[in-house]
Amino acid sequence: MGDPAGIGPEICLDLLTDSSIADLCTPIIFGDANVLRLCAEQTDKSADFKEISADDLASATEPCVLNLGLIDQTLLEPGVVSEATGRATYGYVTQAIDACLSQCVHAVTTCPANKEALQSAGIPQPGHTEIFADRTQSKKFCMAFLSDEINCSLVTVHAGYEEVPHLLNEQRIMDVIELTRHTHKKLLGKEPRITVCGLNPHAGENGLFGSREEELIIQPAMDRMRKEGCDLAGPIPPDTAFTQSQRNMTDAYICMYHDQGLIPVKTIAFESAVNVTLGLPITRTSVDHGTALDIAWLGKADSRNLKSAVRLAVRLTR
C-alpha cells in the first residue's frame, strides 16, 4: 500500500475495482483495511473489498486486502510525514517480500514510500529498492525504469554527485549491463541494443573532463561485456544519448547516476514508466512517482502508473 499518508491508499482502491487488472491477476493489497475505508470515504470511492488473513494468501482468487493493522488511525494524518507511517510502510513491504519468497504470491508491486518517514522510523535503508535487496539478501541488483518509449538502468542510485565517481567500478558496470541484458532479452525475445552513457560532459572528451572514468572504468567494462556477446554502444556523451535518433537505435540505456536516467525517463514517459528492481530472486515492480503528499486523499491521484506496474509484473513472471 506504500505510505498510508500518501496517495498509495487511493490508487490501491482504484486497482481493486479495475476489472482489466482482475482479468490478468489476483491483486492482493498488503495494508490496513481501516485506512483504505477511511480513504474511500474521503475520496468518494468504493470500499467494497474483501479482507483476508495471511492463511488465505495462497488460495485468494479475487481482488482483496490482507489486513495487517500496522497503524493506529489516530496517528495518521493524510499528507503528513510521520514515524508511524514510516513503520507501517516498512511492515507492509517486508511482509509482501516474505510472502513472495515463500511463493504465496508471484510478484510484488509497491506503491510509493516516503524516504523521510522511513528515516524517522529508524529504517536503515533509504528506500524500497534497498529494502528489497536487504530482505532478499541480494548482492547484485540495480534500479531500472521500463516503458514503451525508453528504458534506463542505473549504476548508482541514491548518492550525491560527489560520491558517484567513487562508487563506479568496472565490475559494477558489468553487473548492471548483464542484469539489463537478461531482462530485456526476456521481454524482447532477442539480444537488446544497449547504449551506455558516459559520466562526464562530452563523455570526458578524451580525459579533458573528469578523471578519465570513461577510459579507465566504463570502456573496459564494455569491452569485457562485448566479449560475452552484448550489443553495446558508447560511452555516449550524456547530452546526446537521448535524442530521437539514438533512441531509435537503443532498447535500453545504462546510466551512471540517478538523475542521468530519471530526467529522460520522466520527461519522455512520466505516466507510463515503471520502476523495476533487477537481480532479485523475486519479481518487484513499482510506481515511478512519489507519495504526492500535497494531493493525498483528495481524490486527485492518478492510478494509471500503478496499473502499468502491475501489468509489467505479470509479464515478468511469465
Clarify whether residues 72 and 89 are in a common domain.
yes
* Angle, alpha carbons 265-269-273 (nearest 5°): 80
User: Is residue 29 scored above 90 in pLDDT?
Assistant: yes
Clarify whether residues 286 and 197 are in a common domain.
no
User: Is residue 208 scored above 90 in pLDDT?
Assistant: no
CA-CA distances (angstroms) from residue 2 to 154, 249, 265, 285, 309?
Answer: 23, 36, 22, 13, 14
Clarify whether residues 51 and 161 are in a common domain.
no
Q: Determine contact, residues 29/40, Cβ cutoff 8 Å.
A: no
Clarify whether residues 30 and 153 are in a common domain.
no
The bridge status of strand 193-197 relative to strand 152-154 is unpaired
**E-state strands within the chain:** 28-31, 50-52, 64-67, 107-110, 142-146, 152-154, 193-197, 231-236, 252-255, 274-278, 283-286
What is the rounded distance in angstroms from the CA atom of residue 90 to the CA atom of residue 293? 18
Least confident of 31-35, 227-231, 267-271: 267-271
Clarify whether residues 190 and 96 are in a common domain.
no
Clarify whether residues 5 and 117 are in a common domain.
yes
Cell 528515516, residue? Answer: 119
The string of pLDDT tens digits covering residues 2-21 is 999 999 999 999 999 999 99
Arithmetic mean of pLDDT over the chain:
95
User: Is residue 204 scored above 80 in pLDDT?
Assistant: no
Q: What is the pLDDT of residue 172?
A: 98
What is the rounded distance in angstroms from the CA atom of residue 252 to the CA atom of residue 12? 30
Handedness of CA 312, 258, 2, 97 (dihedral sign): positive
Q: How many domains does the chain have?
A: 2
Q: Which domain CATH number covers 310? A: 3.40.718.10
Cell of 193: 541494443
The residues, ordered by sequence, that sit 6+ positions from 262 with a Cβ below 8 Å of its Cβ are 145, 152
- Amino acid type, 148: D
Range of the domain at 53: 1-138+280-318
Clarify whether residues 274 and 294 are in a common domain.
no
Q: Determine contact, residues 198/256, Cβ cutoff 8 Å.
A: yes
The string of pLDDT tens digits covering residues 302-312 is 999 999 999 99
- The number of beta carbons lying within 10 Å of the beta carbon of residue 90 is 21
What is the rounded distance in angstroms from the CA atom of residue 173 to the CA atom of residue 154? 9
Clarify whether residues 202 and 247 are in a common domain.
yes
Q: What is the pLDDT of residue 210?
A: 78
Residue 238's DSSP bridge partners are none
Clarify whether residues 32 and 121 are in a common domain.
yes
Q: Which of 75, 93, 121, 117 is nearest to 29 (CA)?
A: 93
Confidence of residue 218 (pLDDT cuts 50, 70, 90): very high
Q: What is the pLDDT of residue 209?
A: 85
- How far does CA 190 lie from the centroid of its chain? 24
- 3-class SS shares of the chain: helix, strand, coil, % to 5: 45, 15, 40
Q: What is the pLDDT of residue 63?
A: 96
277 φ/ψ sector (left φ>0, alpha ψ -120 to 50, else beta): beta
The string of pLDDT tens digits covering residues 44-98 is 998 889 999 999 998 999 999 999 999 998 889 999 989 999 999 999 999 999 9
Kindly state the average pLDDT of the residues 179-186: 96
Clarify whether residues 235 and 155 are in a common domain.
yes
User: Is residue 205 scored above 90 in pLDDT?
Assistant: no
Q: Determine contact, residues 114/293, Cβ cutoff 8 Å.
A: yes
Clarify whether residues 133 and 1 are in a common domain.
yes
Clarify whether residues 45 and 62 are in a common domain.
yes
Using DSSP, state whether 278 is helix, strand or coil: strand
